[in-house]
Copies of this chain bind each other. A is one copy, B any other.
Amino acid sequence: MKYIGNKQSFIDSKEKVTGKAKYLDDLKMPDMLYCKILRSPHPHARILSIDTSLAEKLEGVKAVITGKDCPNNKFGLEIADVTMLAIDKVRYVGDEVAAVAAATEEIAEEAINLIKVDYEILPIVDDVIKAMEPDSPLVHEENKSNIAKEYHFSRGNIDEDFASCDYVFEEEFSTHRVQGLYMEPFGAIAKWEDNGRLTIYSGLQSVFQGRNEIAKALGIEPSQITVKAPFIGGGFGAKIWIRNFHPIVAVLAKLTQRPVKVVLTREEEMLSTRPRVAPKIKLKLGMMKDGTMVCKQARIIADNGAYSWAATKILLNMSIRTDCLYRFKSTKTDSYLVYTNLIPTSGFRAYGNSQAHFALESFIDLCSRKIGLNPVEVRLKNAVHTGDLTIHGWKIKSCGLSECIEAANDSILKTRLPKEEQNGRIKRGIATACMTHVSGNRGGEKYDGSSAMIRIHEDGKVFVFSGEADLGQGSRTIFAQITAEVLGVNIDDITVMPLDTDISPFGLGTYSSRVTTVGGKAVMQAAEKVKKQIISLASEELKKPIAALDIKDGLVYYKADDRVNISLKSLCNKAIRTNKSIPFTSYISYDPPTVGADSTGYGDYSSAYTYGAHAVEVEVDTHTGQVKVLKVVAAHDVGKVINPSGVIGQINGGVAQGIGWTLYENMQFKDGIPQSTGLHKYTLMTSKDMPEIESIIVETNDPIGPFGAKGIGEPTLIPTGPAIANAIEDAIGVRIKDLPITPEKIYRALNDK
């Protein structure tokens, strides 16, 4: 193949490296106003009064709004628990209280500071266990409890199975809030058009979901809104769903009849866009002496923060997915999502699966070591395989889990350094952890597909329309590669059109590692449909049977003698400009052959399950507790690689974010007040701490994905954390179960030991 599997520079890389690519903040419009938002300084307080009079008088201020000026429609994903500006009370530090539109950002900022809010401070709840107690303060008073959502899943006879096991282990793990920290802060421009429709420019990962949510917040119909996404500088899940500022700028733009822009500051990003859900996960594992894992029980209590948004879905994934990584006989999970007066959490790369894997993959190592088994052997013994039906109903159509475990482990064994330095202060360890994830995820009977349109213009140039977003991960390039391969045209002749909900075919957006597998398949089918139109016309022109023709390098040729050929360009002109009247245009809606889970959580809801294993080597400074990751071997079953550059980029990024999550990053609070606002108060891994990464691509040629491909966006982050924790135990015999693994925790654990 000419494009599939070969390294391909991103088709928009030139625009990006020359600085020409326009991100939201680069967009200018005549008469545009700037919005700033006043946020609550209190984690929990009743709003007694708001005085905006001074702000309104400031020159250059065009509008000041509070909750009472806005449509009073609660919105949210599964639970509608948020209003665009606070009404009556605030529930976390950062909650939106008022907003200003002014001629400049500086005036808007000044106006915000002139707004006086009189608060009555309320008692806060900042701990999930306390939040579940009956006399806890209520974050949402209209609910009877702080439990936003709970799930109870059970398969097999777990009590009988635990009773039959040689060993039963139980431990609690916990993970914490961390930030997406994408390069481009989130924002939006709202503009009401002359025909009464609203245009929102915003780097949303899901323009169609965004359209519906904004409509819900404003109380209008979705198709009254056009959402257009300019270039997007990362999202990692925090840009799938709208933020309050989306409807806020729409209200301000309506009031002022001018375009209104908001771009969050990094401080606002860290206050108001959604960090990773923070759960406590209690695991119970039943094992046999030979390493067979028989049954697994979990109790999860997850800190949602003040509003739920996607956290319910996160909890669902946390509750189910890891059960499908091994051949458990029975599993049981009880999980709770609990409101607190902390920053609301939501989706973040891996969508709950990273937290669950941290717990399980740490726990397997811990248990295996306890009974003297090699954790790698235990994993291989229990791993699922192609053809398996997992305990929750996944039909595994392709699975390279064992190959990934073996490849990662073999490589780290070959290259590892001595267990410790001569002086004994530095100790080294290796370990492996693995993971499973989805490529798309059907919810119930909902659509989980993607649509695509391909149009070839009269000069033979190909335009690809998709509703799926490229956040920088390279999906536009994937779509171009697939189209170029199917149509036999040069990739430079392909334009992947920007996102616009009026025009882009319906797509759910970029999450669940679905874009290549689902969006790419839609593009592939659209290309195949157009190819049929082309070959059919060529057959007429060349007087050769359809089956005897193919396309290569922009020429339709007779396979038996390629001197008999006709250029795509001349065919296009004939198709479009003559009385042949064949539009070389196709529209496809592809929905994968999957079945959404039933109410018990049972279903084969992804067309392709992905697998990977990371083997890491760490060294620990036993004097300081400092951990350094020396190497990560990341082996991933991607089905079939479309763009090796893209896969390696995802691996590098996922590993870096995984290390950051595990060792460095932490959003801390004191009495409900965030302590980590702004990058100077938030420790990030820097490039000099980046280990060597070896990428191993395992191809299992998935029967459904385009050219056999599966998703890789989220998987690369998942196994790094538990692999590091496991390698630390291998190095120093100490197990840290609560993320992040700080030098302090190691130091204390070493001392305790």
Contact = CB atoms under 8 A, between A and B. Distances in A.
Contact of A446 (B28, B223, B451, B579): B579
A733 interface: no
Interface string A636-657: 0000000000000000000000
Interface stretch (A61-69, A500-508, A677-685): A500-508
A447 B578 contact: yes
B12 A449 contact: no
Interface size class of A (residues with CB under 8 A): 35 or more
Contact of A579 (B22, B463, B591): B591
A711 to B, nearest CB: 20
B459 A15 contact: no
A194 interface: yes
Interface string A249-272: 000000000000000000000000
A583 B449 CA distance: 11
A559 interface: no
Interface string A308-320: 0000000000000
Contacts of A581: 447, 449, 589-591
Nearest to A569: B221
Given A30-B30, A447-B581, A581-B447, A194 B461 contact: no
A497 interface: yes
Contacts of A461: 221, 223-224
A579 B502 contact: no
Interface in A206-224: 212, 221-224
A339 to B, nearest CB: 28
A579 B596 CA distance: 9
A457 interface: yes
A12 B442 contact: no
Interface string A655-684: 000000000000000000000000000000
A536 interface: no
A343 B426 CA distance: 90
Given A589-B582, A589-B583, A503 B505 contact: no
Contacts of A29: 30
A224 to B, nearest CB: 8
Interface string A549-593: 000000000000000000000000000111111110101011100
Given A15-B195, A30-B30, A222-B459, A442 B579 contact: yes
A505 B582 CA distance: 12
A448 interface: yes
Contact of A503 (B30, B458, B503): B503
Interface string A230-248: 0000000000000000000
B579 A12 contact: no
A729 to B, nearest CB: 45
A337 B157 CA distance: 94
Nearest to A576: B506
Contacts of A506: 458, 576, 583
Given A28-B30, A30-B30, A447-B581, A587 B587 contact: yes
Interface in A580-634: 580-583, 585, 587, 589-591, 596
A258 to B, nearest CB: 12
A72 to B, nearest CB: 21
A83 B447 CA distance: 54
A221 B497 contact: no
A463 B221 contact: no
Contact of A459 (B28, B223, B589): B223
Contacts of A585: 451, 505, 587, 589
B589 A463 contact: no
A445 interface: yes
A194 B579 contact: no
A577 B442 CA distance: 11
B451 A578 contact: no
B576 A447 contact: yes
A11 B97 CA distance: 40
Given A194-B22, A221-B459, A222-B457, A583 B587 contact: yes
Nearest to A29: B30
A114 interface: no
Contacts of A222: 457-459
A543 interface: no
B502 A497 contact: yes
Given A21-B194, A28-B30, A505-B583, 5 more contacts: A221-B461, A445-B578, A446-B579, A447-B577, A458-B506
28 contacts: A12-B195, A22-B194, A28-B30, A30-B30, A195-B495, A197-B495, A221-B459, A221-B461, A222-B458, A222-B459, A223-B457, A223-B458, A223-B459, A224-B461, A446-B578, A447-B577, A447-B579, A447-B580, A447-B581, A458-B506, A463-B502, A497-B502, A503-B503, A505-B585, A506-B583, A579-B591, A581-B589, A585-B587
User: Which 4 A-B pairs rank lowest in CB-CB distance, beginning with the nearest?
Assistant: A581-B591, A223-B461, A20-B194, A223-B457
